[in-house]
Chains A and B, each alone.
Chain A
Amino acid sequence: MAQSDLTRRSVLRRAAAAGVLAGPAAGLLSSCALGDDDSGESTGKYEGTVSDKNPLGVKEDAPLDIVIFNGGFGEDYAKAHEAMYKETYPKAEVKHNAVVEINTELQPRFVDGTPPDFVNNSGAGQIPLGGLVEQGALADLTPLLDAPSLDVPGKKVRDTLLPGTIEAGSFDGKMYVLNYAYTAYGIWYSTKLFEAKGWEYAKTWDEHIALCKKIKAAGIAPWTYQGKHPRYMSWPVISTAIKLGGPQVAMAIDNLEPGAWTSDAMKTAADAWYQIVKDKYILEGSPGLDHKQSQTEWCNGKAAFISCGSWLESEQKAVTPPDFNMSIAPTPSLGAGDKLPFEAIRGTAGEPFIVPAKAKNERGGMELMRHMLSMKGAKDFTGKVSSLSVIAGAADGVSLPFGLTSVTKALAASGSNGFNWIYPVYYRKLERELVDAACGEFFSGRTTPAEFLAACQKGADTIAADSSFKKYKRS
């Protein structure tokens, strides 16, 4: 159906004029939750003059309205970035706002057409990025990518980023999202436990199963997983399949190709992982735990392995015993036929930052991003929150905790063999609901590998057939 050109406001005005609606009733209806269609109005953005020092043309005294997700990273890092901005533009008033529920806080502002200038769209209340892009709510960040770096001489911002950063924030070839924290996904274990028992992380699947047997014999469960969020276990399965079949396995899944989940590589990977279910290598009761409870069991030495991203160390800080020394490792190789080496690990830019398309100070929002993406801003971030940033080399010389050091080593070893998949960003529902439920059944031992993959495929097919989801193509 075509976009209705009769806006509700104009209809109401006519109706009111015709005496159909009395004054108060009209006032009641025009304040409807759907918002007012203001497409015809001019936007009135702040614009300054472009110069070498000010490549994005920021208006120097324009206020900057910022909303930060106050979660695992806290808000201090953002305040430091804002202070850097303030140093460059002393006349600008920076309004800092840290909230926990991004969606409930910002949804009315997006509808109203008065969003902030800069948002850290993260946490459980994250507004799905695919939806935001589809509705034209985000500013294209290409000008930022083409602007010179703040403190890396002779380089554009785009040349200072780690590989995959632009792709992870791009929809149909345009970058709308700056994913600022670099995250690796792998299998975690306690170096201390392994040293004490004389175990060594296995590089092939057969050795891994042999090691699991040894671990179980020692009275420890080889595996646990985030129970009520079983999608965490889809990560090692897909990683194993990609290492076997190459990056096109992920490409097919991201592009919702028919049969992507039931490809030979996925079948072999699911069959392999089924071994830990069949042989009861998973900590008893895991399906009934939530992520905090299971990760704590792991920290308490009740299980040897857990699948997680590099946020695990800071998430578990309060309950990790001293000298636990957690390390990340890539998924074991299936065999000599693997297309990618053992060292290949899933690495991706995460923690999304956005500039809304209707932001009054759009240029200021991007300029704050340019400050974040400076070497100084990135080093400060890594030091403050113990997470890597997407700026290449920004972690050098910063002292990092044990787990994060293992992440940097793993990423360096993986190098250009690193891989990623983006379907959870495009289609939140597919991972968070459908694949999640299928993983829960599979790793509780209620479905076979074939049934598991069929359930995932059915989910992907539903999304593919559903015209209410905008489809994105990755290439």
Chain B
Amino acid sequence: MRHGKYPLLAAFLLPPLALYGYFVLSPYAQSFLIATTNWQGLSSKYDFVGLDNFKRLFKDEYVWNALLNNLWLLVLLPLLTIVLGLFLATMLNVGGRGGRGAVTGVRGSSIYKIIYFAPQMLSVSIVGVLWMEVYNPRGGLLNGALRAVGLDGLAQVWLGDPKYAFWAVLAVMIWANVGFYVVLFGAAMQSVPRDIYEAAALDGASRTTTLVKITVPLLWDTIQVAWVYLAIIALDGFALIHVMTRGGPNFSTDVVGLRLYTEAFGDYKWGYASAIGVVMFFVTLSVTVLSLRLTRRERIEHS
């Protein structure tokens, strides 16, 4: 049997590797090449310009503005989503205080689970269009609700005002993502031995103490993974913003992905757009490595 192992392995592994190489790795490699040209994407004519695109990028205030927005997202999106996700998952799984000592979720938790997870089933463009209508300053759900309860003063132009547009988009990103992490954290909590929670409950630990002292340390691996995923989402953000604001008003919601798209498909500066892509590749890579390194802790084994 032994000598037959390698052909079999190769037969399974090589085709997907070849496809991955051709459709994923080769375009990446090509974009590094294109980033050193002034290719405009409509003919096969181009000159090599060395690092000119990168020098230009360094001085491009619109790219810096977009990058800054991405960095804000990078800080806020994972933090808020994980905190909210942990809170909701705790309430759904171990937050109940009904039964005598039994560890359960709050009443109706199975319905809440469905509600929280629902946005995950919608495509990004649907989420964008939906929230554009919610934020519609005239007749939108949000301003309508504020006015209905007499809070007219809080009604805003939302996506039309640079002061609020970014936060409005951030809120949608959290709303769209949190459901997944509620399920993820919930699944991780199921693997935590019940007796730990029961012991904590018997000792009279409050929900907050249980969350901070028990759940978070035991879920650290999962939180770490969530952090990396959310960081990658924060560095992208293109699809939702393209649908909702196109980076406006006055570039207040611009992100690097949108800059890249506009340079490529709006102004046909493919060389420059590729240079932006290359920079983003390295930024994303370093953020991922950094967050894995910085959040490294000793694993807790529980059987």
* A contacts, CB < 8 Å to B: 1-4, 28-29, 32-39, 103-104, 107, 110-113, 125, 127-128, 131-132, 134-137, 227-228, 230, 283-290, 293, 297, 302, 428-429, 432-433, 436-437, 440-441, 444, 446, 468
Contacts and interface: CB of A to CB of B under 8 A. Distances in A.
Contacts of B38: 468
Contacts of A429: 266-267
Main secondary structure of the interface of B (DSSP, over half): loop
Given A288-B137, A293-B136, A128 B160 contact: no
B291 to A, nearest CB: 32
A135 B43 contact: yes
Contacts of A29: 26
A429 B46 CA distance: 21
Given A1-B49, A4-B47, A468-B269, A284 B248 contact: no
Contacts of A107: 41-42
List the 7 shortest-distance A-B pairs measured between CB atoms, nearest first.
A288-B160, A285-B137, A287-B160, A35-B44, A288-B137, A288-B157, A131-B268
A131 B160 CA distance: 31
A111 B34 CA distance: 14
B262 interface: yes
Given A111-B44, A137-B43, A429-B266, 13 more contacts: A34-B33, A110-B43, A111-B41, A125-B265, A128-B266, A135-B40, A228-B249, A283-B138, A293-B136, A302-B138, A429-B267, A433-B266, A437-B249
A432 B44 CA distance: 27
B262 A288 contact: no
12 contacts: A35-B43, A125-B265, A135-B43, A284-B138, A285-B137, A289-B136, A289-B160, A302-B138, A437-B249, A437-B250, A440-B248, A444-B157
A32 B267 contact: no
Contacts of B33: 32, 34
B206 interface: no
A12 to B, nearest CB: 13
Contacts of B137: 284-285, 287-289
B100 interface: no
B45 A135 contact: yes
A38 B268 contact: no
B185 interface: no
B9 to A, nearest CB: 20
B50 to A, nearest CB: 8
Contacts of A2: 47
**From B41, B46, B47, B49, residue with most partner A Cβ within 10 Å:** B41
B132 interface: yes
Given A135-B42, A285-B157, A228 B138 contact: no
Given A32-B33, A33-B27, A34-B34, A286 B160 contact: yes
A288 B155 CA distance: 12
B123 interface: no
Contacts of B251: 437
**From A112, A131, A136, A446, residue with most partner B Cβ within 10 Å:** A131
Nearest to B158: A288
A137 B42 contact: yes
A441 B157 CA distance: 13
Contacts of B161: 287-288, 444
B160 A136 contact: no
Contacts of B143: 285
Given A135-B42, A293-B136, A285 B160 contact: yes
Contacts of B135: 288
Contact of A441 (B43, B250, B269): B250
A441 B249 contact: yes
Contacts of A136: 43, 45
B238 interface: no
A36 B248 contact: no
Interface residues of B, number: 46
Contacts of A285: 136-138, 143, 157, 160
Contacts of A302: 138
Interface in B1-59: 21-22, 26-27, 30, 33-34, 37-49
B113 interface: no
Interface string B242-280: 000110111100000000001001111100100000000
B225 to A, nearest CB: 33
Given A34-B34, A34-B44, A135-B42, A289 B138 contact: yes
B159 interface: yes
A113 B269 contact: no
A131 B42 contact: yes
Contacts of A290: 132
A113 B43 CA distance: 7
Nearest to B18: A24
**From B49, B156, B159, B160, residue with most partner A Cβ within 10 Å:** B160
A128 B266 CA distance: 7
A284 B250 CA distance: 19
A33 B43 CA distance: 11
Contacts of A112: 44
**From B39, B157, B245, B249, residue with most partner A Cβ within 10 Å:** B249
Nearest to B262: A433
Interface in B160-184: 160-162
Contacts of A1: 47-49
Nearest to B274: A33
A228 B135 CA distance: 13
B105 to A, nearest CB: 38
A127 B136 CA distance: 31
A323 B190 CA distance: 64
Contacts of B39: 34
A446 B138 CA distance: 20
A447 B21 CA distance: 51
Nearest to B246: A228
B136 A468 contact: no
A444 B42 contact: no
A428 B251 CA distance: 17
Contacts of B41: 107, 111
A444 B137 CA distance: 14
Nearest to A293: B136
Contacts of B43: 35, 110-111, 113, 135-137
Nearest to B269: A468
A286 B158 CA distance: 11
Nearest to B135: A288
Nearest to A29: B26
A28 B41 CA distance: 19
B44 to A, nearest CB: 4
B42 A34 contact: no
Contact of B42 (A132, A286, A428, A436): A132
A104 B261 CA distance: 12
A113 B44 contact: yes
Contact of B40 (A3, A28, A134, A289): A134
Interface string B132-148: 10011110000100000
